[in-house]
């Protein structure tokens, strides 16, 4: 008998990946221009020109045996130093290279961190709505995900959080700007979360999963967890900020103010070994050392957001206005997310049913797409709205 947990995970797939594959098939069948794929967070804005120039410069001017060689397991020293320096400059932290562990992207950052922290039976709290793979990652690491409810604006329900914290709580995952709602948690919320965590008798770790940190559309600052809580770990990826999702490059930053910093970092190193991550891809590590402070031109996402908010509101759809990331979390007119997503497919609109995000009755729309596609998709949204008698 094979490992049935993993066989099942492989057969079912995540709802997002499932729809991604369906979209590929559908484009082949009826033409790419006729499919309106809002399913996945694959950035439509290209990587900055500097990424292209830097990659070519590295490949042309570096000894290939050095460029493509193994780095230290935790990442090249100069790369880690540049990441630490960049964080220190932005958030007034005192991190050094040895607080940083380079990873193969945000999912790897999370699985490594969870495997460093968890023992069998531990609980990990996440605020709904949350990225569905959190549950898979916690399960593999021997833990259980405990969802905490949100209010109507997708902000954490702090009473429910207080009720869910227990002796078994090992970690709390914060994801702001949030996938799938796009909302940002303000400083007041972070402070309240920290205050509740500090009441626990046992050490509780706060993991900030923040691949969307730079994708904000208002002046709302995204508080940096290390400035509020010592036992904190930041999981980051350049997938969204530099439009490099397929290249798998990110990092884990462990707060060196944590009393057990050395243990946490050792756990991260050990978990990276056990999971089979030898080092993060070396060419892209070197790219990061040179481009850590840059971002793609993210203004296109704001334009997309504004256009969609305006038109979808006109068509009668409802959702919380997102301050960041590139998602809209839309309420199903009849309260059923699966049937809403299925009906949308008839209009060639690919939207992810949000039940897996721990929040029934909503679908996720990723608007990291071309403005063109949005314009072409508007009649489909209008048709979908009419089918529900919204207009």
Map the footprint of a second copy across residues 188-207, applying CB under 8 A: none
- Annotate 369-387 with DSSP letters as a single string: S-HHHHHHHHHHHHHHHHH
**Sole residue written with tokens 């410069």:** 57
- By beta-carbon proximity to a second copy, the closer residue of 93 and 237 is 237
Read off the tokens for 234: 């930041």
Give the one residue of 52, 168, 191, 386 binding a second copy; rule: CB under 8 A. 52
CB of 385 to a second copy, least distance (A): 29
Cβ contacts of residue 123 below 8 Å, gap of 6+?
Answer: 143, 144, 145, 146, 166, 168, 169, 170
Q: Give the whole-angstrom CA distance, residue 296 versus residue 86.
A: 17
- Residue 157's nearest CA partner among 120, 132, 118, 125 is 125
Q: Where are the beta strands (DSSP E) in 219-285?
A: 232-237, 250-254
Among 25, 31, 63, 188, binds a second copy (CB under 8 A): 63
| Distance in Å, CB of 333 to a second copy, minimum | 30
Q: For residue 243, state whether it binds a second copy (rule: CB under 8 A).
A: yes
Which residue, 46 or 335, is less far from a second copy as judged by CB? Answer: 46
Please pick, from the candidates 164, 230, 240, 248, the single residue that binds a second copy as defined by CB under 8 A. 248
β-strand partners of 148: 127
Pick from 23, 36, 37, 44: which binds a second copy (CB under 8 A)? 44
Smallest gap from Cβ 239 to a second copy, in A, equals 8
Residue 68 as a binder of a second copy (CB under 8 A): the answer is yes
Smallest gap from Cβ 49 to a second copy, in A, equals 9
Regarding 267 and contact with a second copy (CB under 8 A), the answer is yes
Bridge-based pairing of strands 36-37 and 349-350 is parallel
Options 32, 56, 89, 391; binder of a second copy; rule CB under 8 A: 56
Q: Considering only residues 116-145, where is the footprint of a second copy by CB under 8 A?
A: 116-119, 133, 136-137, 139-141
Tell me whether residue 63 or residue 188 sits nearer to a second copy (CB atom): 63
Closest CA to 178 of 355, 324, 309, 359: 324
Among 174, 268, 298, 308, interactor with a second copy by CB under 8 A: 268
22 binds a second copy per the rule CB under 8 A: no
Ranges of H-type helices in the chain: 4-12, 15-30, 49-61, 64-67, 77-91, 106-117, 133-140, 158-164, 187-198, 261-275, 282-291, 299-314, 337-346, 371-387
CB of 315 to a second copy, least distance (A): 28
CA distance 154 to 9: 28
List of residues 6+ apart from 303 with CB closer than 8 A: 371
Tell me which residues in 280-319 interact with a second copy (CB under 8 A): 280-285
Residue from 58, 56, 71 nearest 102 by CA = 71
Query: Out of 127, 130, 251, 277, which residue is the one contacting a second copy (CB under 8 A)?
Result: 277
Element (DSSP H or E) covering residue 156: none
- For residue 357, state whether it binds a second copy (rule: CB under 8 A): no
CB of 106 to a second copy, least distance (A): 8
371: contact with a second copy by CB under 8 A: no
274 binds a second copy (CB under 8 A): yes
Using CB under 8 A as the binding rule, whether residue 383 contacts a second copy is answered as no
Count of CB atoms situated within 10 Å of the CB of 294: 17
Q: Do the strands 169-174 and 205-209 form a parallel or antiparallel pair, or are they unpaired?
A: parallel
Q: How far is the CB of 387 from a second copy (least distance, A)?
A: 31
In total, the chain counts a number of residues equal to 391
Q: Which is nearer to a second copy, 284 or 340 (CB)?
A: 284
- Distance of closest approach, residue 151 Cβ to a second copy, in angstroms: 30
């Amino acid at each position: 008998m094979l490992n049935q947990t993993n066989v099942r995970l492989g057969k079912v797939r995540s709802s997002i990946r499932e729809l991604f594959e369906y979209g590929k098939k559908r484009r082949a069948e009826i033409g790419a221009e006729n499919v309106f794929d809002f399913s996945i967070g694959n950035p439509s804005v290209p990587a900055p020109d500097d990424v292209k120039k830097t990659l070519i410069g590295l490949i042309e001017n570096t000894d290939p045996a050095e460029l493509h060689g193994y780095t230290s397991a935790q990442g090249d020293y100069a790369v880690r130093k540049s990441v630490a320096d960049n964080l220190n400059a932005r958030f007034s932290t005192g991190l050094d290279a040895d607080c940083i562990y380079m990873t193969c992207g945000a999912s790897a950052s999370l699985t490594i961190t969870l495997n460093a922290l968890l023992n069998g039976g531990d609980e990990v709290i996440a605020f709904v709505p949350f990225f569905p793979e959190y549950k898979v990652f916690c399960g593999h690491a021997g833990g259980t995900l405990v969802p905490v409810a949100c209010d109507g604006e997708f902000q954490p329900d702090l009473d429910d959080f207080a009720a869910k914290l227990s002796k078994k709580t090992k970690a709390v995952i914060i994801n702001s700007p949030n996938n799938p709602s796009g909302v940002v948690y303000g400083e007041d919320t972070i402070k309240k979360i920290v205050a509740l965590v500090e009441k626990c008798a046992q050490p509780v770790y706060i993991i900030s999963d923040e691949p969307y940190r730079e994708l904000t559309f208002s002046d709302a600052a995204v508080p940096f967890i290390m400035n509020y809580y010592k036992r904190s770990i930041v999981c980051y990826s350049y997938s969204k900020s530099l439009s490099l999702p397929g290249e798998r490059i990110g990092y884990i930053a462990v707060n060196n103010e944590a009393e057990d910093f050395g243990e946490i970092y050792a756990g991260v190193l050990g978990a990276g070994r056990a999971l089979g991550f030898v080092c993060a891809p070396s060419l892209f590590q070197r790219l990061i050392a040179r481009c850590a402070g840059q971002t793609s031109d993210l203004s296109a996402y704001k334009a997309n957001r504004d256009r969609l908010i305006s038109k979808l509101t006109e068509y009668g759809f409802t959702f919380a206005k997102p301050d960041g990331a590139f998602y809209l979390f839309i309420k199903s007119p009849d309260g059923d997310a699966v049937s809403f997503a299925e009906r949308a497919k008839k209009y060639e609109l690919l939207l992810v049913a949000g039940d897996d995000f721990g929040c029934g009755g909503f679908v996720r729309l990723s608007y990291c797409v071309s403005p063109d596609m949005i314009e072409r998709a508007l009649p489909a949204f209008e048709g979908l709205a009419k089918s529900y008698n919204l207009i």
